[in-house]
Structure 1
Amino acid sequence: YKVLRFNPTGDQLKLLKHFSNSPGFDFWNEPRRYGGNLDIMVSPAQLPFFLTYLKQNSISFTVLNENVQTLIDAEIKHQEATPKAPRAISFDRYYRHSEINAYLEELAEKFRDLVTLESIGRSYEDRDMVVIKISSGGNGTRPVVLVDGGIHAREWIAPAMTLYIINQLVENNTANGALTDAVDWYILPVLNPDGYEFSHTNVSEIYIHTLNLNDS
């Protein structure tokens, strides 16, 4: 997989958008206005055709990344070399769904006056979907902030961001106590646990956004 960067004109952007829902193409971002960059990841199978299309339409580009797979392989190697089920969270790697739930359980045990957990159900593949409630009191009278992450399976940064929010609200509550005194926080780190786990174990399917079920 290669990532190509474009600085398209308005007409060129319209041509490129034709591929936004095509298999083998993944739009990493999209310029909000004329003059912005557009990054597209292209599969090896689609690359020859796409390069011809770009040449025919005089659309210039630069190669942002020659081989995305090397980045994924490096991340997986780093995860495998890191001890599992940490007693303290860190932000130098992406955690698996079971590790995230284990961290929430640790917080509930350690910070009983601040943290409670609730399962909102199980996924199709029977993974527990745990919501953490962070509140210093109020008996349910306070406004509520709901945060969820991991809707799109391969966007690993979203669950990581929810963990950072949880970490700051709970383990750094001395500095952030005003946030838990003012509102009650409900956070679901991974809304799509099956797809999230699939993206970790099937790295060749990196263009998959969610895990879809079908009869085949």
Structure 2
Amino acid sequence: MMRTTLWFMWCAAVMALSHAGKHDAYFSYSVHAVLPRDSSDLALLQQLEQQLDLDVWQYGAPGREALLMVAPQLRRQLLSALDDHDIQHYVHTENVAKSLEELDEEICTWRSSRAQRMIFEDYLRYDEIDAYMERLAAEYPDLVTVVNAGKSFEGRDIKYLKISTTQFKDPSKPIYFMNAMLQAREWVTTPVTLYSAHRLVENLRDEDRDLLNDVDWIILPLANPDGYEFSHSDSRLWRKTRSVNLEVHATCFGVDGNRNFDVRFNTIRVQQNPCSLIYPGTHAFSEPETRYIRDILRNP
């Protein structure tokens, strides 16, 4: 009972913080579902994405709707352009800030109703994820190793799990690499990797034993810890890293990790404005977070 009471008190504090302005940056921002018909519609959406600095929640295709978040002062311009080209659209989310507040409340209510939660059933913070990885390695030392790839821009350790029955000494075994949370706001991805580790190590079914015996695993649950923590504490929809390059901009932070690799760098759906969510950085692998992924793949 005491634990439940404490959770309700914590939820109340979170709600107070929310209503005190945590999500105010998205007040009156809206999300619109757009139904492109063909390649010309898609080209227009890409043009509008650049012109209006739209936040694309889902890229569209013929038969698949796009989800576009737009600032309130640019909403009319977006809708007029869609209407001028007879492109169907509807309001998906009227007020993003209100929607985020409601989501906070739902998460708190769920947490307060469950005294015991599995590691993969919640959106854990950095320290909790780190503690789970260390515990897993301590309890299964012949199977699990924790490796520290290095420091994030803000100084957090970026750790990953190596899971193997042969300590990665059997070259005939394929290596599966899983990573999550390079995009800081995609919270659902980290529980998937933690669930995978849990099933491989702590709850392996007989019918899945070949996945452990015949395959080596590298699991990186939190590739961008700085951005992830910032998405919890300050801006839920933050997606970039948190690096600062004073030669580029003094007040705009971070780089889009997905666009920071050396595959067609700076060519596909990018913006050169360092304040943009899809800013690729000054050069490929400018971010320690993407360099670590590269190095893990080069030398597993």
Q: Which TM-score band applies after superposition, normalised by the shorter structure? A: 0.7 to 0.9
Match of residue 11 from structure 2: none
Alignment correspondent of 1:196:
228
Structure 1: 5+ residue runs without aligned partners? none
Percent identity at matched positions? 34
- What SS does structure 1 have at the residue aligned with 2:162? strand
SS in 2 for 1:180: helix
2:196 paired with 1:165: yes
Question: Normalised by the size of structure 2, how large is the TM-score?
Answer: 0.62
Shift of 1:5: 1.0
Query: Which protein has the bigger helix share?
Result: 2
Equivalence map 1:19-30=2 (5 Å): 19-21=48-50, 24-30=53-59
TM superposition shift of 1:87:
8.0
CA distance in 2, matches of 1:22, 1:199: 25
2:90 equivalent to 1:59? no
Give, in whole Å, the separation in 1 of the partners of 2:47 and 2:87.
Answer: 14
* Alpha-carbon contact 2:175-2:217 (below 8 Å) kept: yes
In structure 2, C-alpha distance between the alignment counterparts of 1:73 and 1:106, rounded to whole Å? 33
Check whether the contact 2:165–2:212 (CA below 8 A) recurs between aligned residues. yes
Give 3-state SS (helix, strand or coil) of 2:58's partner.
coil
Match of 1:89 among 97, 113, 119: 119
* 1-structure distance, mates of 2:182, 2:168: 30
How far apart are residue 44 of structure 1 and its match?
A: 2.3
| Residues 30 and 120 of structure 1, relative CA distance in 2, 3 Å threshold | same
For 1:71 and 1:39, how far apart are their aligned partners in 2? 15
Q: Structure 1 residue 129 and structure 2 residue 158: aligned?
A: yes
Measured in 2, the distance between the counterparts of 1:23 and 1:149 equals 29
Structure 1 residues 61-80: aligned runs within 5 Å: 61-77=89-105
CA RMSD of aligned residues (A): 2.5
Higher-RCO chain (CA-CA 8 Å, sequence separation at least 6) = 1
Partner residue of 1:182 out of 191, 196, 214 = 214
State the TM-score, normalizing by the size of structure 1: 0.84
Q: After TM superposition, what 4+ stretches of structure 1 lie above 6 angstroms from structure 2?
A: none
**Which segments of 5 or more consecutive residues in structure 2 lack a partner in the other structure?**
1-28, 251-300
Cα offset for 1:24? 4.4
> Within 5 A, what are the aligned runs for 1:144-155?
144-155=175-186
Tell me the number of residue pairs that the alignment of Structure 1 and Structure 2 aligns: 211
Are 2:168 and 2:216, in contact at CA under 8 Å, matched by a contact in 1?
no
CA distance in 1, matches of 2:120, 2:140: 18
CA 1:41–1:139 in structure 2 vs 1: closer, same or farther (change >3 Å)? closer
